[in-house]
Structure 1
Amino acid sequence: MLSRAEIDRCLDTLQDQLPNLRSDEDADFDFLTFQAEADRIRAGAAAEDLEHIRGRLQAMLEQAGLIPTDAEAERRR
């Protein structure tokens, strides 16, 4: 199992890679690669760390503008 510090380092690395997962040609985001790396991190984590990982992943995607924030989603309803 990965320690919380190791999980955070993996998540930091994934966040640093976000710009590389965008296609220069059409601004598409490579969700499959992102998901594969996220799955790898989750697979190495203890059950008690999964919510922390989920929150970090969601925050990454929100900050990159790839998914709406909770507030934005609520305004759209």
Structure 2
Amino acid sequence: MATKQRKNNRMIFSSWNYKVLALGILLVIAGFSAMYIENEVNGFISLYISPIVIMTGYITVIVSIMKHDDETGKASEES
């Protein structure tokens, strides 16, 4: 007889991870948009502001992916 296996329907990330991921993606888009809107190679925004905003966005995305909630892992192990 075949036994039924219980499906594990838990989310990979918590809501905090998704919010921070969305913030990071918005920062990256805002940085590239600011660079595009200024439309100068040697402009102040293109050289100084946009790279900082873009790198902050990338770091935020990495942090949101790498941070792990210990509470979600404990809850799935108990059930």
Does the pair score TM above 0.5? no
Structure of greater Rg: 2
Bigger relative contact order, structure 1 or 2, given CA contacts below 8 A and separation 6+?
2
Give the TM-score, by structure 1 length.
Answer: 0.36
